Structure 1
Amino acid sequence: MTDTIDARPSLPRELRAYLEELVVRTRTVCGPHLVSVSAVGSLALDDYRHGRSDVDVTVVVDPALPGPALHDLAGALAHPGLPCPAPGLELVVYGADFAGRPSGEAGYLLDLNTGPLLPNRAAFDAAGSPAFWYVIDRSVAHQAGLSLYGRPAREVIAAPKRSAVLAAIRASVREHSDGEGHLADNRVLNGCRSVVFCRTGRWTAKRAAAQETAAAEEEFRPLIDAAVRSFERPRSSPDPLPGTEVRAFLAWVRERVEETGGTAGD
């Protein structure tokens, strides 16, 4: 780490001390086997909203890291032992051999969810896990991952093939169409982001993607504008959105993704 996290203006001030300590604990547990720690998700895309967004972190380690160290790391980073100032921490650890090649698989060594609004969960076996979340996160990490320690994300995390990313987006849209466990505003904004990726091949911040989609699709502008207003509120008190309109919008998103998937190569 060539500079301190506190010196990086792109990181929200509310998270800097937390991320510094997260890196310290990760280095302590992983020692010389630690390759990289990167902020991904909303932090990487400069769209973090305090009180609403999770902290998304990707860690890459040497495959020779002893297995018990992963359990030690999950314990060292779990809330409230390390108090998370955001609603949650979503941290994924990959082996450098897996992360360095394109893949449409989940492929993690550790998937840790923890925080005041997330139930503590640590998974150590990627077999059977829905792959799409991880494929999308690695695609974002390769494009825009913000280095917190070690080698830059782009050097150690390969971009999944476009066909794999589009398959992941399709699975994501299906998940959000079902609606269970997801806030309505996030379902809409993720749909906007998916459409913009299909058009441009790049990940965009949710609010920027919403603005672009609303400008191009007048029919959905009121719903998208309402989703953006709700997104500005704390996660515990979102605005209600009309379920029928949300489902209709996501059906339209799914059609756009299917059209792109039918014409795109790897």
Structure 2
Amino acid sequence: MIPQLEQSPAVPAEVHDYLEELVRRTSAVCGPALVSVVGVGSLALGDYRHGRSDIDVTVVVDPAPPRPVLRDLARTLSHPGLRCPAAGLELVVYAADFAARPSGAAGYLLDLNTGALLPDRAGFDARSPSFWYVIDRSVAHQCGVPLYGRPPREAIAAPRPRELLTAIRASLREHSDGEGHLADNRVLNGCRSVVFCRTGRWRAKRAAAREIAAAEPDFRPLVEAAVRSFERPRAAAEPLHGAAVRAFLAWARDRVDESARAAGS
């Protein structure tokens, strides 16, 4: 039986058919080993923007398939063979025993990036910096969108607070360098990081930006400009003043460091 995409208001109409086919193909390759398929990122946080956002998906399998099966899965899901309607697909596969326990490691079996606006890449050795994966698993545990199988909170453990704060600090360092990141996304990532440290909950980027703009008037013009830019397609993103972006991210890093010290990290 081919699994049907579970109904969820969090799945935008523009990507529903794509995700249904992604689930079908993933099930066909993984067979009974497929445990869960979970929407994370902007899908989970209710801020998917067609033409701007990636589609972020976490897959959990048990047992871990051999490398040839993972390579087959990457080929089966890669654009344009499976045409991604979003800016790109970022899909990560974990073994169930790893996903079910808190960890600060990358830990993936497959990390696939593909799509019209993403460079094609399939990694199998979990050598990438771990912070992306730790944050995504935290989002998945908090509010992941169930696309197939076991519910996200049952399949994916939340990272420990110390490991998560370490990941958030590393994420802000990455965005401070700016390499390969749009300026608006760098600012909004900083907003989301600070709001998480203040509230213990992940917010959509634009919602987090509104909170920071209201609470921090010195940064309001930059944050509002970042939101306006984020609401445009990637190719039409507005330039932001580099020094202002760096100053904001330095402030954000200080706020995260304060949270880490308060938590004893």
TM-score band, normalised by the shorter chain?
over 0.9
Q: In the alignment, which residue of structure 2 is the partner of 1:239?
A: 238
* Structure 2 counterparts to residues 1-266 of structure 1, below 5 A: 4-5=4-5, 7-126=7-126, 128-265=127-264
Whole-angstrom distance in 1 between the partners of 2:253 and 2:6: 41
Cα shift at 1:9? 2.5
Instruction: Tell me, yes or no, if the aligned pair for 2:5 and 2:147 is still in contact at 8 Å.
Output: yes
Cα distance in 2, alignment partners of residues 129 and 5 from structure 1: 30
Q: Deviations over 1:148-195 (max 9, x none)?
A: 000011101000001111000000000000011000000000000000
Q: If the length of structure 2 is used for normalisation, what is the TM-score? A: 0.97
Offset at 1:10? Answer: 2.2
What is the deviation of 1:8? 2.7
Distance 1:65 1:115 in 2: 24
How far is the alpha carbon of 1:7 from its aligned partner?
A: 4.1
Indicate if the aligned counterparts of 2:79 and 2:115 stay in contact, CA closer than 8 A. Answer: yes
SS at structure 1 position matched to 2:79: coil
Q: Aligned to 1:9, what secondary structure does the other structure show?
A: coil
Q: 2: CA distance between counterparts of 1:26 and 1:157?
A: 18
**Contact 2:184 2:227 survives alignment (8 Å):** yes
Contact kept? 2:6, 2:146, Cα under 8 Å = no
Alpha-carbon distance in structure 2 between the residues aligned to 1:141 and 1:98: 14
Q: What are the superposed Cα offsets for residues 186-234 of structure 1, whole Å, 9 maximum, x if unpaired?
A: 0000000000000011100000000001100000000000000000000
The letter of the residue matching 1:90 is E
Contact 1:6 1:16 in 2 (8 A): no
SS in 2 for 1:5: coil
Report the secondary structure of 1:195's partner residue.
helix
Structure 1 letter corresponding to 2:43:
L
Residues 17, 6 of structure 1: CA spacing in aligned structure 2 closer, same or farther, 3 A cutoff? farther
CA distance in 1, matches of 2:124, 2:162: 27
Asked if 2 retains the 8 angstrom alpha-carbon contact of 1:173 and 1:250, the reply is: yes
- Quick one: structure 1 residues 214 and 136, their matched pair in 2 at CA, closer, same or farther if it must change by over 3 Å? same
**3-state SS in 1 of match to 2:235:** coil
User: Which stretch of the first structure deviates more once superposed, 57-66 or 130-139?
Assistant: 57-66
Where structure 2 has 5 or more consecutive residues not aligned to the other structure, the ranges are none
Cα distance in 1 between the residues matched to 2:6 and 2:17:
7
SS at match of 2:120: strand
Q: Secondary structure at the match of 1:57?
A: strand
Letter in 2 for 1:79: H
Offset of residue 119 of structure 1: 1.1
Percentage of identical aligned residues: 73
C-alpha distance 90-64 of structure 1, shift in aligned 2 (>3 A): closer
The number of equivalent residue pairs is: 265
Structure 1 runs not aligned, ≥5 long: none
Structure 1 letter corresponding to 2:50:
H
Instruction: State the shift of 1:64 in Å.
Output: 4.2
Deviations, residues 105-152 of structure 1 (Å, cap 9, x unaligned) = 0000000000000111000001x3200000000000000010000001
Give the residue type in structure 2 aligned to 1:121. Answer: R
Which of structure 1's runs of 4+ aligned residues deviate more than 6 A?
none
Shift of 1:237: 1.2
Alignment partners' CA distance in 1, 2:39 and 2:93: 12
RMSD: 1.5
